[in-house]
Structure formats: structure tokens, C-alpha cells
Amino acid sequence: DVKVTQSSRYLVKRTGEKVFLECVQDMDHENMFWYRQDPGLGLRLIYFSYDVKMKEKGDIPEGYSVSREKKERFSLILESASTNQTSMYLCASSQWTGWESEQFFGPGTRLTVL
Amino acid sequence: QKEVEQNSGPLSVPEGAIASLNCTYSDRGSQSFFWYRQYSGKSPELIMFIYSNGDKEDGRFTAQLNKASQYVSLLIRDSQPSDSATYLCAVNTGNQFYFGTGTSLTVIP
């Protein structure tokens, strides 16, 4: 079974702090994704990566950055956390086979910024 | 126009009934279609995917795809209270994944 893990289930941070969210997948997947999910807005793509050291902006990259130094690990960084970044953050991975590819999600990190 | 549209619901059905969830998409080049189930406070889990026009059945679940109408649906037969969740429709265009905002389903015992 594909397993995607995230470093924390719940996280509380203060405005202005630098926040790191870690995601690890154990299926040698090429692609990894970071989403945030808010009520009424659905899943919104923040960043994604198709390869090590490669990253692409999604729909809402502002205020975030990412790092992918190893194939299995994809980190989301909030450089200076703000209250509007309070959300559920979901990491996903997929083995890119073009249109047949499906995404597998981690358990999510609920981040609260005070 | 959003890439993937779903009726947000909530949709309520009695236990044992058929629940019908619908999704439309805008990119005619979309090749594959997925249904995810998401329980409250949990992450989405894949329950079905479909690539070809027509029906695909898996236990109590049936996915239906009509590419000409750009429409995909999920039928849940013999609905159970444990099916109460939000159902996300997702579309893979070959270049990117797009998710709908989800339909909330409640199965009433």
C-alpha cells in the first residue's frame, strides 16, 4: 500500500513564525503535491514537484515555498506565517503515468496561526 | 468557469436508497476521472476511477462517464450511514489534476 505521511496532525504557530510542514512517501513516486483545503473552497494546489530539486507553482503559491532535496520528501515552508494561512494542509503523491495517474493523500496537518 | 463543478449539497438519502452524485468538467481533453471520499477531519481516499465512456462497477459503487456531455457521476447503491462523507470528483487532463469542491452526503438511518 502507498503510504504518505506528514510530520504533524495538528500544529499551532504564532504570526510571523517560520513554519515547516514535512511530507514523506514510501512508494518511489515521482510527483508530490501540496494542497490546502478550506470550507467552501475545496482543495487548492499550492506547489507541486515532478522530480528532485524541481518545483512548480500551483494556483496559490504566495506566502509559501517548497523544498525537494530527496525523492521521497517534499517540504512546505511558510516563510512568515499569517492568520490567513490557518488551514488544513494536505500532501499527495503520484506515480506519473500520464493520464492514468491517481493521487494518494497523507493524513493532513491542521495548522492554526494565532 | 471552474475546471470541475459539483453540487455542494448537502445531499440526504435514507439508508438503503441509491445516492447519486454528479460532476461536470470543462476540459474536453480530460482523460481520467476519479472519485474520492473524505470523512470529516480526514484526508481524501480514492474509491473509484474511470477512463472510458460508460459504467464501471465496484461493489456498491458505480461510476458513470459521458465524455460527450463532459459529465461523470457516482452511484452508491444500498447506502449505509458509514457512507456519510464528502465526495470529491477529480479530473486528470494529462497535465494537471483538478478537484471539485465536493458534495456532502448524509445517509439517514
CB atoms within 10 A of CB B62: 18
A16 touches chain B (CB under 8 A): no
pLDDT of residue B8: 78
Nearest CA-CA partner of B83 in B34, B8, B14: B14
Report the alpha-carbon distance of residue A65 to residue A57 in Å, rounded. Answer: 9
pLDDT of residue A97: 56
pLDDT of residue A2: 64
pLDDT of residue A1: 67
Cβ contact (<8 Å) for A104 and B46? yes
Cβ contact (<8 Å) for B46 and A43? no
Residue A108: all three cell numbers together: 493532513
Cβ contact (<8 Å) for B43 and A42? no
Report the alpha-carbon distance of residue A83 to residue A85 in Å, rounded. Answer: 5
Phi, psi torsion values for B83, nearest 5 degrees: -80, -5
Cβ neighbors of A27 (< 8 A, separation 6 or more) are A2, A3, A93, A95, A104
Nearest CB among B31, B45, B102 relative to A99 is that of B31
Cβ contact (<8 Å) for B44 and A105? yes
Of the residues B2, B46, B97, the best mutation for testing chain A's interface (the one with the most A CB atoms within 10 Å of its CB) is: B97
Cβ contact (<8 Å) for B51 and A99? yes
Report the alpha-carbon distance of residue B32 to residue B13 in Å, rounded. Answer: 28
Poorest-pLDDT segment among A57-66, B24-33, B76-85: B24-33
Report the alpha-carbon distance of residue B80 to residue A94 in Å, rounded. Answer: 30
Report the alpha-carbon distance of residue A12 to residue A19 in Å, rounded. Answer: 10
Decide if pLDDT at B1 tops 80. Answer: no
pLDDT of residue B97: 84
Report the alpha-carbon distance of residue A19 to residue B38 in Å, rounded. Answer: 26
Decide if pLDDT at B61 tops 60. Answer: yes
Nearest CB among A40, A102, A107 relative to B34 is that of A102
Report the alpha-carbon distance of residue A46 to residue A76 in Å, rounded. Answer: 9
pLDDT in tens, B84-94: 999 999 998 87
pLDDT of residue B7: 84
Contact indicator for B17, B41 with CB cutoff of 8 Å? no
Give the pLDDT means over successive 10-residue stretches in chain A (114 positions). Answer: 88 97 93 93 91 91 96 96 97 79 92 97
Mean pLDDT of B28-52: 92
Contact indicator for A102, A36 with CB cutoff of 8 Å? no
Please name the amino acid found at residue B60: R
Strand partners, B48: B35
Percent of chain B at pLDDT above 90? Answer: 81
pLDDT of residue A41: 85
